[in-house]
Amino acid sequence: MAGTEGTRAALIRFLGTIARSGQSVDNVADDQNLIDSGVIDSLAMVQIIVYLEREHGADLLAVGFDPAALASVGGILKAIAAGNQ
Amino acid sequence: MSESLLQIHERAPFIAGAQTSAGKALVWLAGCGLLAWHGAPLLMLPAFTLVLLWPRHRRGLLALAALGMIAARFLPQALPWDEGFHAGWLRFLASTAIGVAAVLLMVWGALRFDRLPAAIRARPILWLHVLAGIALATGVWTEIWLLTLAPVLLWRASYLYRTAAAGRAAGTRFRDHLMYLMPVFGGTNTPYGKGLEYLNRTEARTPEAFARSQLAGIRLLLLAVALGVLLDLLLVLAHGQPDTLFRGAFAGWSPRLPTLGQVIATAADPRAAVGWAAVYLHLIVTTTKLATYGHVVVGALRLLGFNVFRNTYKPLYSTSIVEFWNRFYYYFKELLVEMFFYPAFYRSGWASPRVRILIAVLAAAFAGNAYYHLLRDYRIVFAGDWPAIATYWIPRLIYCLLLAIGIWLSMLRQQELRKRSGPPAGGLRRLRAIAGVWTYFGLLQVWLVEPEVAGAARRSGFFASLAGF
């Protein structure tokens, strides 16, 4: 549980570095679509993919994740969990 | 007061008012008036009316309207009306029946995706485009009326099969997909509103959300009216164009500057100042035209209860190339990013981050962009007139390549800027950045602007003349 909380906190910190100017990620819900709500733009997902690959060793192609599934905090956490399996 | 009026979709009294009977009547009147003003598809008016009355049946109504759109596409075959029942009617009925059957078959395949052959399941979008390519190469596409549907359907079907391949079409119904495959709300070959997944996320599910969406739609349609008037004013004041809302008025004040297309079409280069004016004016005109058209389509979608993003959102305020690309033609950019950028990015994990982004950007802004226009302008390619093909395609490929390089460099720069914490640039630095973006995209248009008969040499000559050569 602590690991999951730590992973989420680290993810939120990272998302704060790629959020659009003037957008905060501190209070986003896990199921909130970050692109639809304007928190990040779709090209910033590149950095999310690189983050997942570098920080969590995720091979997204191998686990069949598509970018749309990485548009929410919950989706990214699922990808991290899938990569860890 | 003006702030309140501009933000009608955010103000509680307006949202509450739009949910009353009188409010709905006003929304209907305003919506119908604005849709008619903008020349929205004729079927949009009854579709909007029925969805306003029975929002729970929105998808079914829009699916029926989609079938109507297929029939409307073939209707010219039945003309002229005054000759009674003639062979054209049979062609119309047959084309419509086959068109409807083809679209239903396409959805049926997606809904039963797990029963398709393994090879197709592995690369469904590739197969879809291979089939389209075969239709093009064999001339079927150009010969049979039915397949005039294909350019419109192809990218929307790509979204459909992308959803199916991800296993997210399970539990959906025919009507869910029909409504966007032949959209009554309009659009180009680019799917405004993307596919079902995005429409799902943006669909109004409460009376309040529906009212908010419709008010946002009316606001956007009003903005489109204002932009149309401003555009006509610019055209008459800058270029002295007579075919505007203002007719001959104000034309006497105009310096009658040539448009970028006129400059490119003439053999002699203008003075550098006139050339630069043509470049910047063309950028403003192109952006305003696209924004106006996009606002009408997105406004229609919002009236129907899908509160989707705008297609164009203040691109001329962009301070970077990648920001402009994101804001200029959002649904085209999304198409390129989702169909080309991410697949290429995923598959190039072997490369360094910079090279990986370059590969993905080239896949989207260069290869994907060129491919999209190859499908759109297939007649030029398949006419077999090689000098005409070269004249048309070389400037476009140069455009795509320069666009891709610009986006790549801009993305790298934005990544560097994000690492440095601090407030966004303001004042003169911001203005300088905006001017840079205008100049970059203005100059890019030199390679894209009509006339199509102007080849790379002519465009290069004009390009050099801007620098005084």
Same domain (yes/no): B138, B254 = no
The nearest alpha carbon in chain A to B340 belongs to: A67
pLDDT tens figures, A3-53:
677 889 999 988 888 887 778 888 888 888 888 888 887 777 888 888 888
Is the residue at B301 inside a domain? yes
Distance from the B307 Cα atom to the nearest Cα atom in chain A, whole angstroms: 10
Is the residue at B444 inside a domain? yes
- Model confidence at A62, pLDDT cuts 50, 70, 90, reads low
Same domain (yes/no): B254, B340 = yes
Rounded to whole angstroms, the Cα distance separating B160 from B109 reads 10
Same domain (yes/no): B222, B179 = no
**CA B289, chain centre distance (Å):** 11
Is the residue at B193 inside a domain? no
Distance from the A11 Cα atom to the nearest Cα atom in chain B, whole angstroms: 16
Same domain (yes/no): B180, B322 = no
Tokens of B128: 């879809």
**Chain B neighbors of A61, CB-CB under 8 A:** 346-347, 349
Instruction: Quote the pTM value.
Output: 0.90
Domain ranges of chain A: 2-84
Same domain (yes/no): B344, B291 = yes
Same domain (yes/no): B242, B111 = no
CB-based contacts of B165: which residues, under 8 Å, 6+ apart? B113, B121, B124, B125
Same domain (yes/no): B175, B237 = no
- Asked if B338 and A67 come within 8 Å (Cβ–Cβ), the reply is yes
pLDDT at B149 (0 to 100): 63
Question: Which CATH superfamily includes the segment(s) A2-84?
Answer: ACP-like (1.10.1200.10)
Mutate to test the interface with A, among B346, B420, B421, B429 (most CBs of A within 10 A): B346
Q: ω into residue B395 within 30 of 0, thus cis? A: no
pLDDT at B244 (0 to 100): 80
ipTM of the complex: 0.75
Same domain (yes/no): B112, B231 = no
- Asked if A36 and B202 come within 8 Å (Cβ–Cβ), the reply is yes
Rounded to whole angstroms, the Cα distance separating B325 from B327 reads 6
Is the residue at B109 inside a domain? yes
Is A35 in CB contact (< 8 Å) with chain B? no
Q: How many domains does chain B have?
A: 2
Distance from the B182 Cα atom to the nearest Cα atom in chain A, whole angstroms: 23
Using only C-alpha atoms, chain B has a radius of gyration, in whole angstroms, of: 24
**CA B108, chain centre distance (Å):** 27
The stretches in chain B having pLDDT less than 70 are 1-5, 139-149, 248, 418-425
Is the residue at B9 inside a domain? no
Same domain (yes/no): B241, B387 = yes
* Domain span holding position B114: 41-184
Residue holding tokens 């491919």? B371
- Asked if B337 and A68 come within 8 Å (Cβ–Cβ), the reply is no
Is A47 in CB contact (< 8 Å) with chain B? yes
Is the residue at B234 inside a domain? yes
**Chain B neighbors of A14, CB-CB under 8 A:** none
CB-based contacts of B337: which residues, under 8 Å, 6+ apart? A42, A43, B364
Residue B279 half-sphere exposure, CB side, CA atoms within 13 Å? 26
- Asked if B309 and A50 come within 8 Å (Cβ–Cβ), the reply is no
Is the residue at B106 inside a domain? yes
pLDDT at B88 (0 to 100): 83
Distance from the A5 Cα atom to the nearest Cα atom in chain B, whole angstroms: 25
